[in-house]
Structure 1
Amino acid sequence: MTIGIGVKRVEDPNLITGNGKYVGDINLADQCEAVVVRSTRAHANIISINKEAAEKSPGVLKILTSADLPDDLPPIPMRLSPEKSLNYALQYPLAKERVRYVGEPIALVVATSRYAAEDAADLINIQYSPLPPVIDVYQSIKLDAPLLHPDIGSNDLFVIHSKKGNFENQLKACPFVLEKELTIQRHSGVPLETRGLVAAPEPDHHLTVYGAAKVVHFNHQVLAKLLKKDMADIRLVETDVGGGFGVRGEFYPEDYLIPYAAMQIGRPVRWIEDRLEHMKTTNHSREQKHRVTAGFNEKGRILAFRDEIFVDTGAYIRTHGVTVPELTQGMLPGPYDIHALEIVTHVIATNKTPVGTYRGPGRFEGTFVRERIIDMIAQELKIDPTVIRERNVIRKDQMPYTNGIYALGQEIKFDSGDYQSILNKARLAVQWENFEERRKLAEADGRLLGLGFAMFVEKSGLGPWEFCEVEISKDGHAFCKTGLADVGQGMKTMLSQICSQQLGIPYDKIKVIHGDTDKVEKGNGSFATRGTVVGGSAAWYASQSLKNKLLDTASKLLSISSDQLNLSDESVMHTENKLKLIPIEELISECYKKGIQLKEKYTFSTDHMTYPYGVHAAEVEIDLETGKIKINKYQIAYDVGRSINPSLVGGQLIGGMAQGLGGTLYEELKYDETGQLLSGTFMDYLIPTAKEVPEVNINIYENELSPLNPLGVKGAGEGGTVGVAPAIANAVMNALREYSIEIISLPIRPDMVREVIRNGKKSKVPPEARS
């Protein structure tokens, strides 16, 4: 039995002993280096590109501009949520006549060394004819705003409209109406390792590309199409990855440019992104504005809810298509049963770096908006905010429950859940009933305490399918080949535990093979918290088929019915008397003697996602002098259906919380009015360190198994992130309840809190009701 046990990760020995192999570690014979020349303007026509001096620079091997690329080269396609109407907003590997954001690739320089390439890049002279930039969604949709993609005819590129019930009629019947505008700032994943690639052409016209991540097989298909090569002639190999978080591994311009350049010069080419490049050009995320109208009764029951959302998608539509806007809209109602909904989402182009997914895409944003509104309703009615949540949650007997909204090609339909129960558990864990006493004691000591909650529903297990092949070789070695990718989530450990459960082989003796298109025939990859749900289910069924084949052979050898046999402890066991009947090595040998190949494949398909859910609770302390927000206690209660490895789940939640904390208090990709990025270094773009991240108390529950897969699992990768901002914001509001403050935007800065405190307390209000 290995499922449900927090065994040690099989990935770690290599990594912690310094034996990991990252793309920057690859050094091949005759390898050369590439540098991308990028736009210094946010919006301009390109008048000319003079590369003559650069081509004469020592060590230069090749300089590419759009004129040097094939005339019929298509733009980079969408992977998720493809909308044909958005094809005119896709990005080409190199800018043609026009640039639309600072950092857009214009040329590629390949030289014998990075130094030579950088020197040559400085000699390329680009003449621009400036165009007015648009850097705000409201500015972008004005009638006189310059169009970024004239063939679409509007900077409001795409509109998603969802309705449930009659919002206007319900609103008229509501005795209370709340109208607010809330904003979420632009920030991104910022992994420790920046992006990189090594492309190595072979004499037989084969091409090997190192450094693919997350969606290796998709990138394989796209690269073959763009290069006009047979897929069999291209091999993509996944290296170790120093952080994924959604931003790594998509198909970027460089994923075409580096292989193309390598083929042109016939030598391996390496490109490693520097940190400033990363800040300017790797997918940004999050930036949204929400105009909310909520109608509710005197008990706090929400009867009508409308949100008009403005998503800043940047200059182009990248491989994610409109995934983030769709998920924002689809998951916005969260765990609440709201009578009437209307949500309108605008996908708007601006002269900023294109956006994509970042851990909890759409849900981080929507959860902040929804959970702040819940607390605002509680504040207006003077009712305990957890009671407001209690009165609005979807009941267990309503499951499966649909909110009537579609996202990623499917209706949002919650498979199972007991939201009331987990709210009760969270209140008990943080001693909510006794908090007022602790607050008064702190106030007597000159300290301001606040406690805030946030409920959420996550999505996980996005299909449509995932592949696995499980094999035991003649010499007894066990292999699991998966279409998933390893982005640090413990995928190898999870799969080896699942195979171990079926085959009775120790989990650390099962080798997981992934991320190599020559070794794994197909796959969808690791994203959208899908690994355990979809990839794990494929491994479960593949290893089950292999187990059945072994037991069928054992049954014939032992003259015992196969239903009385099982595999455990590297042996065939009798299920009743628990006796070991035959070592598995002997059984494997017998199978091969009989010509039985011990290899099974399975493709697990699913039409619906699974929906884990939980509660975040934060207790904060406000420094009266500086406005600093200190997190004294942080609690996450999370129901994942079934936990394959509780240690991995806990690690995911803690790591996710740290990233959510960054988006709540520190991180912001800020632009000036000309479209220049102002926070392109860690001097200006703040991230939380070990000092800022508090101890996170985790309660993992397995109360509501998913009926949609054989393991009953739901994903755990993003639930640690999505509830952080509203939990902390609500806690800060709770601490400053006697001051005039309204948190409707992120990040929450100490200077804002300090100013509020210096302005003094507002007039006395009665204490919060507790019923």
Structure 2
Amino acid sequence: MTIGTSVKRIEDPRLITGKGQYVGDIKLPDQCEAVIVRSPHAHANILRIDTEKAKKLPDVLMVMTGQDLPKDLSPIPMRLAPNEALTKALQYPLAKDKVRYVGEPVVLIVATSRYTAEDAADLIDVIYEPLAPITDVHTAIQSDSCLLHPEIGSNDLFLIHSKKGSVDEELKKCRYILEEELYVQRHSGIPLETRGLLAVVEENKRLTVYGPTKVVHFNHQILAKLLKKDSQDIRFIETDVGGGFGPRGEFYPEDYLIPYAALQLGLPVKWIEDRLEHMVATNHSREQKHHVVVGFDESGRIHALRDEIFVDTGAYIRTHGVTVPVLTQGMFPGPYDIDALEFITHVVATNKTPTGTYRGPGRFEGTFVRERIIDMVAKKLNLDPTVVRERNLIQPEQMPYTNGISALGQVVEYDSGNYPQILETARSAMDWIHFAERKALAAAEGKIIGLGFAMFVEKSGLGPWEFCEVEILENGELSCKTGLADVGQGVKTALAQICSDQLGIPYSKVTVIHGDTDVVEKGNGSFATRGTVVGGSAAWYASEALKKKLLQVAADVMHLPSDDLDIKNQFIIQISNQQNLCPLDDIITECRNQRVELREKYTFSIDHMSYPYGIHAAEVAIDSETGKIKIEKYYIAYDIGRAINPLLVHGQLVGGMAQGLGGALFEELRYDENGQLITGSFMDYLIPSSMEVPEIEIEILENSPSPLNPLGVKGAGEGGTVAVAPAIANAIINALDKYQINITSLPIRPEVIRDAIIKGPVTIEEEQT
């Protein structure tokens, strides 16, 4: 068996030897380069665009404005969580009469070289009439005179209201009520490779586009619809991808503009996003304000929780629709059994870059808020925060457990899990029972240390389906065609292991093909931690069907019952006596002689998501002079039901933690009052380096397999990210428990910690107050 084994990634040899091919590596004859002129204003009317000087520049082939787009062009549609009420806030590929954020595309220029296109961009004269920008959600809601989308009638674009039980009635019964406001800052994925596309019109007039990823088949259909072409006349080819993380691979304005330009010119057109463009144009994420009211008793048991959430969605609704706010609500309760819940979420338009998903969308935000609230409850009652968690956890016998809140079209129903067990695992791993003693000893030596925990429940395996086709080739190796995309998560290795287990062949003899719409007939793509759960299950069943064909032929040849036969290590074996009967190659040859088609397809459908769960724990040391945080020990325990390849899971958790650390301590896309992004370069937008990311102790648990798929798997892609911020925040508060500090916003800045230390420990009188 290869499932459950930490075999090496089959993707890596080609990549680490420099043989990868990214979209920027492709060079075609007569290839042109595109540049986008973007708005320098957060909010302005476009009075006039003078393109004449640019058009006259030698080697400029096209200058296109919003007025040059087809008159019947539709805006870019929603892919996830669509809602008819939001269609009036969708974005067109080029701004026409108004710009609504810094970085919005205004003019497309195509020239024989990038240098010429850049020179032409400098000659474009756009006359703007600046308008007052709105950069705060509360100001946006209160504004009647400055509406970003007047057809909707409010900047409060959409309201999502979910509830379980009566919060008001439960609050009346609670002895203690805590009310708090918390904030998660705007930041996003920063892949090593920025976005890029190369579109070429072939001799047969078909359009080929290199560079799509994540949701290749879906974007293929969107482009066909926008271009009003038959989808058979367009081919998408996924190249290697230097990081995805959510923002990469969605359908952006450039995904229409570059193919459209290629069709108009009849020449290959390439566009590669530079880093500044990435900062202002690629989806941002995360920014939310939470107003939480929670009612609890003297034991720490929480009976009621209400959260009014304000989501800064930016200037337009992009392809994710309202996925992030919906997931914030649906997953907010986490592993806790709370009697009454209510969520009121405002999706608010502002003059900022539109937002979308980023690793752990909605859960990063909700987990920070919820796990900080848990520690606040514990502090209010002077209780051990792990005990407060324990007293509120859903118990194993309650599974499957419905939290009463809907997300992505279904009520959240946790499929399996033992939350108390994983909490105890973490307490033991961090030696929590003795930490107070270690903290006191450290304090005697002038050191400040703290330990914090944060629990979470993730979602994975979003359906409704995924496709796989497997075929034994003439050389005896296996081809596995999948509707998934490869954004670095090891999809080739995982699927190869699954096929290998079914068909008894080495995983190295499986070639996984993806992302080519001419070769793979359909697919939903790689997002929402769905690859192994849904795509892996499709590969499992397709391989199983092919295996049955092989075993039936073997049974006929050997005059044995097929249910007493299996394939192991490239041999047909008899199950009853575990003897090798003949090489698999002999049966493959016999199948070909009998003209048995050695190919099978399977579309795996799933109605409900699966829910992995885990816990993060951080031990930190604080420099009393600077407020700098050093992570002394970091621990993650994660139950994913079943690990196809523990090495891949480990890598996902380490990488995820690094991104979560960025969101906790460093990264922020900050705007000034004029709507200008003031952290638009790596001089200002800080990301953690290898010096800041600690060694991470990881326990991959398989105690609660999912009953919803044949492999028992749950996804592992986002659990490393979602609980980093509250684990570190809780550790800091634990370290500074004698000081006046309450962390309610991200990122956590050293100056906040330093200022608390400078003020000195809280006196007994202040503590009582």
Shorter chain as denominator, the TM-score bin is: over 0.9
In the alignment, the residues of structure 2 paired with residue 179 and residue 96 of structure 1 have an alpha-carbon distance, to the nearest angstrom, of 45
Instruction: After TM superposition, give the deviation of residue 766 of structure 1 in Å.
Output: 12
User: Is the counterpart of residue 538 in structure 1 residue 538 in structure 2?
Assistant: yes
Contact 1:738 1:764 in 2 (8 A): no
Alignment of 1:162-311 (within 5 A): 162-311=162-311
8 Å CA contact 1:666, 1:747 repeated in 2: yes
Counterparts of 1:735 and 1:633, CA distance in 2:
14
1:688 corresponds in structure 2 to 688
Task: Verify the 8 A CA contact 2:453 2:617 in the aligned structure 1.
Answer: yes
Q: Distance in 2 between matches of 1:630 and 1:56?
A: 58
- Cα distance in 1 for residues equivalent to 2:563 and 2:27: 53
**Which residue is equivalent to 1:758?**
758
| C-alpha separation in 2, matches of 1:489 and 1:442 | 40
With the length of structure 1 as denominator, give the TM-score of the two structures.
0.99
Structure 1 residue runs without a partner (length 5+):
none
1:373 counterpart residue number: 373
Question: 1:4-26: per-residue Cα shift (whole Å, max 9, x none)?
Answer: 00100000001111111000000
Q: Measure, in 2, the Cα distance between the counterparts of 1:474 and 1:36.
A: 47
SS of equivalent to 1:212: coil
| Aligned-partner Cα distance in 1 for 2:576–2:697 | 41
Match runs of 1:432-447 below 5 Å = 432-447=432-447
Question: 1:198·1:209 contact (CA, 8 Å) conserved in 2?
Answer: yes
Match of 1:494 in 2: 494
Q: Which whole-Å deviations, capped at 9, do the CAs of 1:497-550 have from their partners, x for residues lacking one?
A: 000000001001100000000000000000000000000000000000000000
Moved more, 61-70 or 687-696: 61-70
Q: TM-score, normalised by structure 2?
A: 0.99
Aligned mates of 1:736, 1:233 — CA distance in 2: 63
What is the alpha-carbon distance in structure 2 between the residues aligned to residue 565 and residue 145 of structure 1?
75
Structure 1 window deviating more from structure 2 (353-362 vs 127-136): it is 127-136
Q: What whole-Å deviation, never above 9, does each CA across 1:376-395 have from its counterpart, x for those lacking one?
A: 00000000000000000001
Give the residue type in structure 2 aligned to 1:149: H
Counterpart of 1:506 in structure 2 is 506
Q: Report if aligned partners of 1:45, 1:99 keep a CA contact under 8 Å in 2.
A: yes
SS of residue paired to 2:714: coil
Distance across 2 between alignment mates of 1:250 and 1:300: 43
Equivalence for 1:322: 322
Q: In structure 2, what residue type is equivalent to 1:427?
A: R
Counterpart residue number, 1:739: 739
CA distance 1:765–1:603, change in 2 (3 Å): farther
Give deviations 1:26-80, integer Å, cap 9, x for gaps: 0001001000000010001100000000001121011111111100000000000
Residue in structure 1 matched with residue 699 of structure 2 by the alignment: 699
Residue aligning to 2:78: 78
Which amino acid in structure 1 is aligned with residue 590 of structure 2? E
- Secondary structure of the corresponding residue to residue 211 of structure 2: strand
Provide the rounded CA distance (Å) in 2 between the counterparts of 1:413 and 1:442.
44
Output the amino acid matched with 1:224. A
Per the alignment, in what secondary structure is the counterpart of residue 109 of structure 2?
Answer: strand
Cα distance in 2, alignment partners of residues 145 and 715 from structure 1: 46
CA contact (8 A) 2:144 2:154 kept: no
Residue 766 to residue 497, structure 1, CA distance change in 2 (3 Å): farther
**Cα distance in 2, alignment partners of residues 589 and 173 from structure 1:** 75
Note if contact 1:197-1:258 (Cα within 8 Å) is conserved in structure 2.
yes
Cα separation, partners in 2 of 1:766 and 1:586, compared to 1, 3 Å: farther
Matched, 1:42 2:42: yes
Which amino acid counterpart does residue 531 of structure 1 have in structure 2?
A: G
Cα pair 1:472 1:598 within 8 Å, conserved: yes
Q: Is the 8 A contact 1:134 1:350 kept in 2?
A: yes
Residue 605 of structure 1 is matched in structure 2 by 605
Contact 2:209–2:236 (Cα < 8 Å) also in 1: yes
CA distance in 2, matches of 1:9, 1:438: 41
Q: Alpha-carbon deviations, 1:150-181, whole Å to 9, x = none?
A: 00000000000011011101001100000000
Paired residues of 1:474 and 1:592 also in contact (CA < 8 A): no
How far apart are 1:475 and its partner, in Å?
2.9
Mapped pair 1:153 → 2:153: yes
Q: CA deviation at 1:560?
A: 1.2
CA separation in 2, counterparts of 1:550 and 1:234? Answer: 36
Aligned residue number for residue 521 of structure 1: 521
Structure 1 CA distance for aligned equivalents of residues 429 and 126 of structure 2:
61
Contact in 2 for aligned 1:75/1:90 (Cα 8 Å):
yes
The CA distance in 2 between the partners of 1:467 and 1:655, in whole Å, is 28
Number of the residue aligned with 2:667:
667
Which contiguous aligned blocks of 4+ residues in structure 1 show a shift greater than 3 angstroms? 764-768
Deviations 1:320-356 (A, max 9, x none): 0000000000000110000011110000000000000
Partner of 1:711: 711
Query: 1:473 and 1:636 mapped to 2: Cα distance?
Result: 42
Aligned residues: 768
Q: Which residue of 2 aligns with 1:120?
A: 120
Contact 1:474–1:589 (CA under 8 A) maintained in structure 2: no
- Is the 8 Å Cα contact of residues 156 and 347 (structure 1) preserved in structure 2? yes
C-alpha displacement at 1:767, in angstroms? 12
Question: Is the 1:102–1:280 Cα contact (8 Å) retained in structure 2?
Answer: yes
CA deviations on 1:576-608 (whole Å, 9 max, x unpaired) are 332221111111111011010010000000110
Amino acid at match of 1:668: E
The one-character-per-residue Cα deviations of 1:194-226 (angstroms, maximum 9, x if unpaired) are: 000000111221010000000000000000011
Structure 2 gap segments, 5+ residues each: none
- 1:764 shift after superposition: 4.2
> In the alignment, does 2:642 pair up with 1:642?
yes
User: What is residue 138 of structure 2 aligned with on the other side?
Assistant: 138
- Between 645-654 and 753-762, report the one with greater CA deviation: 753-762
TM-aligned CA deviation for residue 145 of structure 1 = 4.8
Distance 1:765 1:421, change over 3 A: farther
* Correspondences of 1:618-637 after superposition (within 5 Å): 618-637=618-637
| % identity of equivalent residues | 69
DSSP 3-state at the match of 1:141:
helix
Q: Distance in 1 between matches of 2:55 and 2:568?
A: 65
- Contact 2:38 / 2:104 at 8 angstroms: preserved in 1? yes
User: After superposition, what is the alpha-carbon deviation per residue over 1:87-106, rounded to whole angstroms, capped at 9, x for unaligned?
Assistant: 00000000011100000000
- Given that residues 538 and 603 in structure 1 are in contact (C-alpha distance below 8 angstroms), is that contact kept between their aligned partners in structure 2? yes
The answer for the alignment partner of 2:723 in structure 1 is 723
